[in-house]
């Protein structure tokens, strides 16, 4: 692609948005910057678009959003008039341009004769998933870049089951996306006219209440149990504030304290470097609030409220950050124990996790005689299994999670849901407090039962065009080179998921199993310019597992030739 010609084409477009035109004028003569913005089109991947906000075909802006939604519209139109009439639900988070992009998406749909149900204000991604099912829509769109830094935004597409679209559907939409000849010429409807014609409808409170009502249906403990439990919560400037507060208040939590400086939506996420609850540093202000309130627990959700991070007091009374695997094991054990107490564990009950999630979950499930199934990374694969179970009745879904802080308990949503996870974590904490236990003590008891599992994730960020090529090169080297020995540890099995193994679709993931049962995996991120290395071990004690983890991690990274990175 001739990036200079593309740059000139945009610059000379007489109806170009004023802000975007100014950006292009400001980078005149900056060849590297022009190339990065125009050397390729922003790709419509398995879930949609995600990228830096700004002018250019390799950026997310009103024109690339219009092109993506036009591709979706063409796909829906191909499915027939009945599918078109069901409409598409659109939600958005608090990021820069999110409201504008949601409106543009709705007007493109309306122009194609497809009804758009657009939320009147910011909403969590899981509520979008719920709303698609509640309104019996044909699809859903959410404008978000999840936990990426503030300069990013994105567009994710959901199917009629409320789950992120399956790969085969994504491929068909991608073909339609690529058939759109010119992103600058995609037509949009007039808002007033679209509303008059019933093709654009604002939605809100009715869906909110229906979602909240579903959340309340799987609360196991009486409200009285929750009234003394102290929770500090931060929405990290995102969409979680209202729905999380609402559900906890409805369940009787009288001591909920929201971090004041992070309570309100802020597209700059001004108090954190990146609004990612996987990173302990984002809880700095929450920890100060928790110390002041003598809180039992700290919870934080990412901007679109599909991931949650948690801090609990350890034996020294210091707040410690639970890993996604540890929180997942605690939630899983609580869910299964509560269902077992009520004689509500179906014989075909199944837990689902991803191939890079801790093996601790399988060990916990086995304590209850429950099967564990592994999926590829990405919650849509868990959702696909739920849909299959629903249709065949072969299995019953009990719990699904991934190490990256995503959890699902109630399948009225078909994506990870931090609102229901916050609700369940708070209830779980209050339940154990009544028994004289902190969640940290419960975690230690769980380790004693099933083994001392420990994991770590190492991310290498490689930005831009060169970064993409480096990540490709690293994965090629890992595939081609023999890693028979990792210093003093032998690799006994290399699993290349590009071959579609273990009954799973093909995926660019490599997993190496070591002689002592430890493992590591490598995969490029699907949403960020990173390559991720996952490490997992099982030890005889906390100290033993930590030593083993450091050994596996350091030996693995040292065994990878430094020349691969250059």
State phi, psi for 366 to the nearest 5 degrees.
Answer: -60, -30
Within 13 Å of residue 48, how many CA atoms lie on the same side as its CB? 32
In this structure, the answer to whether residues 502 and 359 fall within a common structural domain is no
Domain-embedded: residue 320 = yes
Q: What is the pLDDT of residue 462?
A: 83
Last residue of a domain, one of 180, 209, 238: 209
**Catalytic pick from 146, 358, 383, 518?**
146
Domain-embedded: residue 25 = no
In this structure, the answer to whether residues 358 and 239 fall within a common structural domain is yes
In this structure, the answer to whether residues 423 and 278 fall within a common structural domain is yes
The residue segments making up the domain with residue 324 are: 227-450
In this structure, the answer to whether residues 335 and 393 fall within a common structural domain is yes
482 as an active site residue: the answer is no
In this structure, the answer to whether residues 415 and 298 fall within a common structural domain is yes
In this structure, the answer to whether residues 284 and 421 fall within a common structural domain is yes
Domain-embedded: residue 9 = no
In this structure, the answer to whether residues 98 and 163 fall within a common structural domain is yes
Domain-embedded: residue 218 = no
In this structure, the answer to whether residues 64 and 169 fall within a common structural domain is yes
Domain-embedded: residue 3 = no
Contacts by residues 463-471 (CB-CB < 8 Å, ≥ 24 positions apart)? 463/529, 464/36, 464/529, 465/35, 465/36, 465/39, 467/529, 468/529, 470/565, 471/524, 471/529, 471/530, 471/531
Helix H, strand E, coil C: the string for 121-132 is CCCCHHHHHHHH
**pTM tops 0.85:** yes
Q: What is the pLDDT of residue 486?
A: 58
Q: What is the pLDDT of residue 536?
A: 96
State phi, psi for 294 to the nearest 5 degrees.
Answer: 55, 50
Q: How many structural domains comprise the chain? A: 3
Angle 299-420-304 from CA coordinates, rounded to 5°: 70
In this structure, the answer to whether residues 329 and 459 fall within a common structural domain is no
Domain-embedded: residue 80 = yes
CATH code, domain with 483: 3.30.310.50
In this structure, the answer to whether residues 254 and 348 fall within a common structural domain is yes
Domain-embedded: residue 17 = no
Question: DSSP for 391-443?
Answer: HH-S-EEEEEEETTTEEESSTTSSS--HHHHHHHHHHHHHHHHHTT--HHHHH
In this structure, the answer to whether residues 445 and 470 fall within a common structural domain is no
Last residue of a domain, one of 450, 481, 516: 450
Q: Is 397 left (phi over 0), alpha (psi -120 to 50) or beta?
A: beta
Beta bridge partners of 117: 89, 201
CB–CB of 487/552 below 8 Å? no
The two structure tokens encoding residue 177: 């996306």
In this structure, the answer to whether residues 102 and 175 fall within a common structural domain is yes
pLDDT along the chain (566 residues), means of 10: 91 96 95 93 82 96 97 96 95 98 98 98 98 98 93 96 92 94 96 97 98 96 96 98 98 98 97 94 98 98 97 96 98 98 96 97 97 94 95 96 96 97 98 97 97 94 82 87 64 90 92 90 84 94 95 85 55
Question: How far is the C-alpha of 141 from the C-alpha of 158, rounded, in Å?
Answer: 6
CATH code, domain with 231: 3.40.120.10
- Which helix (H) or strand (E) element contains residue 239? none
């Amino acid at each position: 692609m001739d990036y200079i010609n593309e740059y000139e084409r945009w610059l000379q477009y007489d109806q170009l948005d004023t802000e975007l035109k100014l950006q292009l004028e400001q980078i005149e003569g900056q060849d590297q910057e022009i190339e990065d913005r125009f050397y390729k089109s922003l790709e419509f991947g398995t879930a949609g678009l995600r990228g830096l906000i700004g002018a250019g075909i390799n950026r997310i802006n009103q024109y690339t959003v219009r092109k993506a939604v036009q591709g979706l519209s063409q796909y829906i139109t191909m499915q027939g008039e009945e599918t078109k009439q069901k409409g598409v639900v659109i939600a958005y988070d608090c990021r820069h341009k999110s409201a504008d992009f949601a409106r543009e998406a709705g007007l493109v749909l309306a122009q194609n004769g497809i009804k758009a149900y657009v939320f009147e204000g910011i909403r969590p991604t899981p509520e979008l998933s719920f709303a698609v099912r509640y309104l019996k829509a044909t699809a859903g769109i959410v404008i978000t870049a999840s936990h990426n830094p503030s300069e990013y935004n994105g567009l994710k597409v959901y199917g009629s089951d409320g789950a992120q679209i399956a790969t085969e559907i994504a491929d068909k939409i991608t073909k339609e996306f690529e058939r759109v000849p010119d992103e600058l010429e995609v037509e949009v409807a007039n808002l007033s006219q679209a509303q008059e014609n019933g093709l654009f409808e604002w939605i809100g409170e009715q869906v909110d209440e229906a979602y909240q009502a579903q959340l309340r249906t799987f609360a196991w403990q009486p409200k009285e149990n929750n009234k003394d439990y102290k929770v500090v919560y931060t929405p990290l400037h995102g969409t979680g504030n209202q729905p999380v507060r609402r559900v906890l208040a409805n369940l009787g939590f009288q001591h909920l304290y929201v971090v004041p400086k992070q309570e309100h939506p802020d597209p700059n996420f001004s108090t954190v470097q990146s609004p990612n609850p996987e990173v302990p540093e984002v809880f700095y202000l929450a920890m100060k609030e928790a110390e002041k309130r003598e809180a039992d627990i700290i919870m934080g959700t990412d901007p679109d409220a599909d991931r949650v991070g948690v801090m609990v007091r350890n034996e020294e009374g210091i707040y410690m950050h639970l890993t996604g695997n540890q929180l997942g094991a605690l939630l899983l054990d609580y869910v299964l124990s509560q269902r077992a107490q009520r004689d509500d564990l179906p014989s075909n009950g199944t837990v689902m996790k991803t191939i890079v999630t801790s093996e601790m979950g399988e060990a916990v499930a086995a304590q209850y005689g429950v099967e564990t199934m592994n999926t590829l990374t990405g919650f849509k694969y868990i959702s696909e299994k739920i849909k299959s179970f629903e249709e065949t009745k072969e299995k019953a879904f009990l719990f699904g999670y991934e190490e990256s802080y995503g959890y699902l308990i109630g399948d009225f949503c078909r994506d990870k849901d931090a609102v229901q996870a916050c609700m369940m974590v708070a209830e779980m904490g209050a339940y154990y407090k009544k028994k004289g236990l902190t969640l940290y003590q419960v975690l230690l008891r769980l380790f004693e039962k099933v083994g001392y599992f420990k994991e770590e994730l190492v991310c290498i960020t490689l930005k831009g065009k060169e970064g993409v090529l480096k990540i490709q090169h690293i994965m090629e080297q890992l595939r081609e080179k023999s890693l028979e020995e990792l210093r003093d540890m032998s690799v006994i099995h290399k699993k290349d998921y590009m071959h579609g193994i273990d009954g799973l679709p093909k995926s660019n993931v490599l997993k190496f199993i070591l002689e002592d049962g430890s493992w590591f995996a490598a995969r490029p991120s699907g949403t960020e310019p990173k390559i991720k290395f996952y490490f997992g071990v099982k030890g005889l004690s906390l100290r033993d597992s930590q030593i083993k983890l450091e050994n596996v991690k350091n030996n693995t990274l040292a065994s990878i030739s430094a020349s691969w990175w250059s």
